[in-house]
């Protein structure tokens, strides 16, 4: 125990395994942010699309959406990523990023879809009827009235999901993708010290996640009046 | 303007409308009264094709709305304004935007023209200063007046009112009824579901009483209140008058 504390607060260890490898961590952080952002965009598009499908009255459309959501939510992310990376990898030539972004995006998209569905259903039926009664088409009612309100309501849940995505993206280090967690592994391998580099990386994740959640709280407060982002 | 011919509707196995025949001519104000759960809202919602019917036909301005394919129904709905018991203003839009959103996106009016018209409508319902307020910042009576202005923004040929004052505090009922009276004097065709008997007496051209999804009695206001023919109407009137 004492030995662990000593290592954790030893300036020399920090000098050797963090300061000395700042470039590696920097690249890792950049890659983490990039792959998370790309997956986030994909997840958002899929989530809205599938969420809308989930509230549709068409059985087939609804069934397909439901099958996707259930398949994703009831299998481990790592297994999904392995399927995408090794199983479907050849489809994408030797591009390492695409299958991983697809895997993370489809995974998060399923959760976003359920959040979107709940959000749409929470915007009262009256809003839909009012929109139809002033001559809007279903699509116009969705895009002008229902979704803007649904998105505002689900903002906290969405933010939580996206923060999870950033943390989940650490799994792609398994495939040698040079993101933040992978940076820590590399430094560990080079210095034979696992504690400090990984604690450091954990702090970086925490700062990102915490900043994001505070940012979302701020947006929530600023949009309270209109109920729309 | 509106014609219902042997309209029946079921929710699952529950029949909520039975063989409704009804005609409303242009410029007429028809008041519908009846106990809660008798199918009044459902009838209005069927006239606007917000609910499907299982039997019969409904014509609105010469078009059989339930025979119109679903992707064309919004075109018929543009001729019909609807005012709801719970106002149902778009919560994410200001009062003015509530009124202009449909002219802009549905009729493709340009924004400035739509806003000018929207402000005129707000003036008409007595709320010119509330253009930039969100629904949550308005009282119930104010919300309902904005909702009437919103419905009028498409220049509808027919206005449907579903208990427009039932969710209001007593002191706000008059301001909404006054707007509706004004509207009636301009010759708007109106179907009004209400329990405001004073309003019915004063404004209605005709009153129908609905119970159990059937039209029980139909007459002009004086005879409706002074000499109802049916037992069920008498019982109902004795309870509410
Ligand atoms: N969406 C629905 N699904 C099932 N039953 C409904 C639905 N809407 C209304 N009903 C039923 O239909 C009947 C008539 O309702 P409604 O038209 O709202 O009556 P009113 O407006 O006269 O109070 C009631 O018994 C009600 O419970
Ligand atoms: Mg009703």
Q: Is any Cβ of chain B less than 8 angstroms from the Cβ of A149?
A: yes
pLDDT of A44 over the 80 cut = yes
pLDDT of A143 over the 80 cut = yes
Judged by CB atoms closer than 8 Å, whether chains meet at A133 and B136 is answered as no
In a 13 Å sphere around the CA of A46, the CA atoms on its Cβ side amount to 24
Three-state DSSP state, A133: helix
Element (H, E) at B140: helix B140-152
Q: Is any Cβ of chain A less than 8 angstroms from the Cβ of B78?
A: yes
> How much is the pLDDT for A140?
94
Q: What is the DSSP string of A56-88?
A: -S-HHHHHHHHHHHHHHHTS-HHHHHHIIIIIS
What is the band of A152 on the pLDDT scale with cuts at 50, 70, 90?
A: confident
Summarize the confidence of residues A41-62 as an average pLDDT: 93
Q: Which of B179, B190, B108 is nearest to B156 (CA)?
A: B190
What is the band of A7 on the pLDDT scale with cuts at 50, 70, 90?
A: confident
Ligand nearest to the Cα of B36, by number:
1
Q: What is the DSSP string of A83-130?
A: IIIIISGGGGTT-SHHHHHHHHHHHHHHHHHHHHHHHHHHS-HHHHHH
Q: Which of A108, A90, A2, A1 is nearest to A47 (CA)?
A: A108
Q: Is any Cβ of chain A less than 8 angstroms from the Cβ of B52?
A: no
CA dihedral for B232, B233, B238, B241, sign (positive or negative): positive
Give the single-character DSSP code of B13.
Answer: T
Q: Structure tokens of B229?
A: 């023919």
User: To the nearest whole angstrom, how far is the Cα of A152 from the nearest Cα of chain B?
Assistant: 10
- Please give all residues whose beta carbon lies within 6 A of any atom in ligand 1, as ranges: B 11, 16, 34, 36-42
| B67-100 pLDDT tens trace | 999 888 888 899 999 999 999 999 999 999 999 9
Q: How far apart are CA A51 and CA A43, in angstroms?
A: 11
Q: By the 8 A CB rule, do B53 and B17 touch?
A: yes
**Tokens 């220049």 map to which residue?**
B155
> How much is the pLDDT for B143?
96
Q: How far apart are CA A50 and CA A62, in angstroms?
A: 9
Nearest-Cα residue of chain A relative to residue B95: A226
Q: What are phi and psi of B83, to 5 degrees?
A: -120, 130
Q: By the 8 A CB rule, do A155 and A116 touch?
A: no
> How much is the pLDDT for A151?
87
Judged by CB atoms closer than 8 Å, whether chains meet at A136 and B102 is answered as yes
Which among A129, A144, A227 has the least Cβ separation from residue B91? A227
Summarize the confidence of residues A209-229 as an average pLDDT: 87
Q: How far is CA B197 from the centre of its chain?
A: 16
Task: Tell the burial category of B178 from Cβ atoms under 10 Å away from its Cβ (0-12, 13-18, 19+).
Answer: middle
pLDDT of A229 over the 80 cut = no
Set out the domains of chain A in order of their start, with CATH numbers: 10-226 (1.10.3720.10)
Q: Is any Cβ of chain A less than 8 angstroms from the Cβ of B164?
A: no
Nearest-Cα residue of chain B relative to residue A124: B88
Q: Is any Cβ of chain B less than 8 angstroms from the Cβ of A135?
A: yes
pLDDT of A26 over the 90 cut = yes
CB atoms within 10 A of CB B197: 18
Residues of chain B with pLDDT under 70: none
Judged by CB atoms closer than 8 Å, whether chains meet at B105 and A140 is answered as yes
User: To the nearest whole angstrom, how far is the Cα of A116 from the nearest Cα of chain B?
Assistant: 17
Work out the angle at residue B211's Cα, subtended by the Cα atoms of residues B206 and B213, and round it to the nearest 5 degrees: 100
User: To the nearest whole angstrom, how far is the Cα of A191 from the nearest Cα of chain B?
Assistant: 56
In a 13 Å sphere around the CA of B59, the CA atoms on its Cβ side amount to 12
Provide Rg for chain A, Cα atoms.
21
What is the band of A200 on the pLDDT scale with cuts at 50, 70, 90?
A: very high
Q: By the 8 A CB rule, do B133 and B122 touch?
A: no
Ligand 2 center–CA A42 separation, angstroms: 43
Which among B78, B91, B94 has the least Cβ separation from residue A135? B78
CA dihedral for B223, B227, B229, B235, sign (positive or negative): positive
Q: By the 8 A CB rule, do A209 and A30 touch?
A: no
> How much is the pLDDT for A220?
87
Q: Which of B148, B236, B154, B157 is nearest to B197 (CA)?
A: B236
Q: Is any Cβ of chain A less than 8 angstroms from the Cβ of B154?
A: yes
Q: Is any Cβ of chain B less than 8 angstroms from the Cβ of A148?
A: yes
pLDDT of A124 over the 90 cut = no
Nearest-Cα residue of chain B relative to residue A153: B92
Cβ-based contacts of B153 with chain A (< 8 Å): 134
Q: How far apart are CA A55 and CA A62, in angstroms?
A: 7
Q: Give per-residue burial for A167-204: e unless 16+ CB within 10 Å, then b.
A: ebbbbbbebebbbbbbbbbbbbeebeeeebbbebbeeb
pLDDT of A228 over the 80 cut = no
Element (H, E) at A168: helix A147-168
Q: By the 8 A CB rule, do A111 and A51 touch?
A: no
Q: How far apart are CA A104 and CA A106, in angstroms?
A: 6
Which among A133, A145, A226 has the least Cβ separation from residue B82? A133
pLDDT of A134 over the 80 cut = yes
> How much is the pLDDT for B53?
94
Q: Structure tokens of A117?
A: 């569905």
Return all residues near B113 (Cβ < 8 A) that are at least 6 apart.
Answer: none
Question: Which ipTM value was assigned to this complex?
Answer: 0.92
Ligand 1, atom 2, residue with closest C-alpha:
B11
> How much is the pLDDT for B165?
95
Cβ-based contacts of B95 with chain A (< 8 Å): none
> How much is the pLDDT for A97?
92
Cβ-based contacts of A226 with chain B (< 8 Å): 92-94, 134
Q: Is any Cβ of chain A less than 8 angstroms from the Cβ of B108?
A: no
Judged by CB atoms closer than 8 Å, whether chains meet at B105 and A127 is answered as no
Nearest-Cα residue of chain A relative to residue B100: A134
What are residue B208's DSSP bridge partners?
B32, B218
pLDDT of A227 over the 80 cut = no
**pTM metric for this prediction:** 0.83
């Amino acid at each position: 125990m004492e030995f662990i504390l000593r290592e954790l607060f030893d300036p020399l260890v920090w000098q050797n395994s963090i300061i000395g490898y700042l470039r590696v961590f920097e690249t890792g952080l950049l890659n983490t942010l990039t792959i998370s952002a790309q997956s986030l965009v994909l997840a958002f598009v899929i989530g809205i699309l599938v969420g809308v499908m989930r509230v549709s009255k068409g059985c087939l459309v609804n069934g397909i959406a439901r099958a996707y959501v259930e398949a994703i939510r009831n299998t481990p992310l790592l297994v999904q990523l392995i399927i995408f990376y090794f199983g479907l990898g050849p489809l994408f030539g030797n591009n390492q990023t695409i299958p991983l972004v697809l895997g993370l995006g489809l995974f998060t998209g399923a959760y976003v879809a359920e959040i979107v569905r709940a959000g749409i259903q929470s915007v009262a039926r009256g809003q839909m009827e009012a929109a139809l009664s002033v001559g809007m088409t279903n699509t116009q009612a969705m895009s002008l009235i229902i979704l803007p309100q649904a998105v505002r309501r689900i903002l906290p849940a969405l933010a939580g999901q996206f923060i999870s995505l950033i943390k989940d993206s650490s799994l792609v280090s398994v495939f040698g993708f040079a993101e933040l967690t992978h940076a820590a592994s590399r430094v560990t391998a080079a210095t034979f010290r696992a504690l400090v580099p990984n604690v450091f990386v954990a702090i970086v994740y925490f700062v990102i996640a915490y900043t994001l959640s505070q940012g979302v709280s701020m947006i929530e407060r600023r949009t309270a009046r209109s109920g729309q982002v | 303007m509106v014609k219902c011919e042997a309209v029946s509707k079921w929710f699952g196995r529950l029949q909520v409308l039975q063989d409704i025949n009804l005609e409303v001519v242009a410029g007429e104000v028809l008041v519908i009264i009846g106990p809660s759960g008798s199918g009044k809202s459902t009838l209005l919602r069927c006239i606007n094709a917000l609910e499907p019917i299982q039997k019969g036909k409904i014509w609105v301005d010469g078009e059989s709305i339930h025979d119109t394919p679903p992707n064309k129904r919004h075109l018929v709905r543009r001729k019909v304004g609807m005012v709801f018991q719970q106002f149902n203003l778009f919560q994410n839009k200001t009062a003015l935007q509530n009124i202009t959103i449909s002219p802009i996106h549905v009729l493709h009016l340009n924004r400035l023209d739509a806003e000018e018209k929207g402000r005129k409508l707000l003036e008409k319902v007595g709320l010119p200063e509330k253009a930039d307020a969100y629904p949550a910042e308005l009282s119930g009576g104010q919300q309902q007046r904005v909702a009437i202005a919103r419905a009028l923004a498409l220049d509808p040929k027919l206005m449907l009112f579903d208990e427009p004052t039932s969710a209001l505090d007593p002191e706000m009922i008059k301001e909404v009824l006054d707007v509706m009276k004004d509207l009636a004097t301009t010759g708007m065709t109106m179907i009004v579901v209400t329990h405001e008997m004073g309003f019915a007496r004063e404004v209605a051209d005709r009153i129908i009483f609905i119970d159990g999804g059937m039209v029980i009695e139909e007459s002009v206001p004086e005879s409706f209140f002074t000499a109802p023919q049916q037992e069920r109407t008498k019982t109902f009137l004795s309870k509410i008058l």
